[in-house]
Each structure stands twice: as structure tokens, then as C-alpha cells.
Amino acid sequence: MCQEIGDSEKFVFDRAGDPNLNSAADVMIGEPDPFSSYVALYDEFFPRGLHEDTLVAAANRMTELEPNSPEGYAIRASLMSNRLTPAELLSDLNRAIELDDNYLLPQNLLAAVYIETEKFHEAIAMLKKAIELAPNDPDILEYKTKLENS
């Protein structure tokens, strides 16, 4: 597990304790660009549902390193979606969209939040924008189907 995230940007991994961390260690150790390292860490582990607490810490650090980048906010929202209420997620999602309204991840997540909270007009607006950005994205198509069935 990642033993240190923060000011030093140095990482120590217990590779023997978790073989999945070998790829993360290769990505992170000695990386001159910590922000890109955090994005790579997210890309490596989030799809497999691994090391969620470490990823949340990494996303928090991303927003500190580059507060004007939408990635940190969108990634943190995606990680926290099962820990926070929809209302609590809105801050990060809206900030990510404010910084880049063509970034698909927060568009998708915000559409899902709006569907979950039965704010269908807002969900439609988000899905229209998301469909413009990526008409064949499976998440968008899933949210569209949910909305049509609501």
C-alpha cells in the first residue's frame, strides 16, 4: 500500500503485501510529475476497485497540486460517489465542469446524480452535452436508458 502521499511526493510500496501494487510502484516511484502520477494511479486501480482510500488521498492531493485542473475534482467525485450524498458531490462536479465543460467524466457523473435525485430536466441537459462529446460512450447510453425509463 502507498505509505506516504503528500508534501514529499515520495512513495513507498509494500510490493510483497500486494502484487497489484507493482504496476503502481513502477508508475509512481521517481516520477517527476506527481499530478500525472496520481492520474496514472487512478487509471490503474479505479477500474478494478482497488485501493480506494489511497486513491481518495491521491485525488485530494491532485486538487492541491493543480487547483485549476478539472481532473482532480472529477476523480475525487467519482471515488466519493458511494461515500457522499448526491448533494455533497455537486461541489466537485460543478467545479470540474466550470474548469472544463468539455470534460466527459464530470458530465457523466453529474447526469447520474441528477437521475438519482430525480432532477430529470437537469439530467437531460447533462446527457445532451455528454452525447455531443461522446455519442457512443457506454455510460452515457446507460444513463440515457435510465432516464427514458424514469
Could you tell me where the DSSP H helices lie in 67-137?
70-80, 86-99, 104-116, 120-133
Which of 118, 34, 46 lies closest to 82 in space, CA to CA? Answer: 46
pLDDT, tens digit (0-9, with 9 covering 90-100), for 14-41: 445 555 555 555 555 555 567 787 787 7
Q: What would the mean pLDDT of 38-53 be, rounded to a whole number? A: 79
Nearest residue to 111 via CA among 136, 135, 95, 131: 131
For residue 113, with 0-12 CB atoms within 10 Å meaning exposed, 13-18 middle and 19 or more buried, which class applies? buried
Predicted TM-score (pTM) of the model is: 0.74
Task: Name which of 3, 71, 81, 8 is nearest 40 in CA terms.
Answer: 71
pLDDT of residue 92 exceeding 90, the answer is yes
Phi-psi region of 113 (alpha: psi -120 to 50; beta: other; left: phi over 0): alpha
Of the given ranges (26-35, 69-78, 84-93, 137-146), which has the lowest mean pLDDT? 26-35
Residue 57 has pLDDT above 60, yes or no: yes
**Residue 83, pLDDT score:** 85
What are the backbone angles phi and psi of residue 102, rounded to the nearest 5°? -110, 10
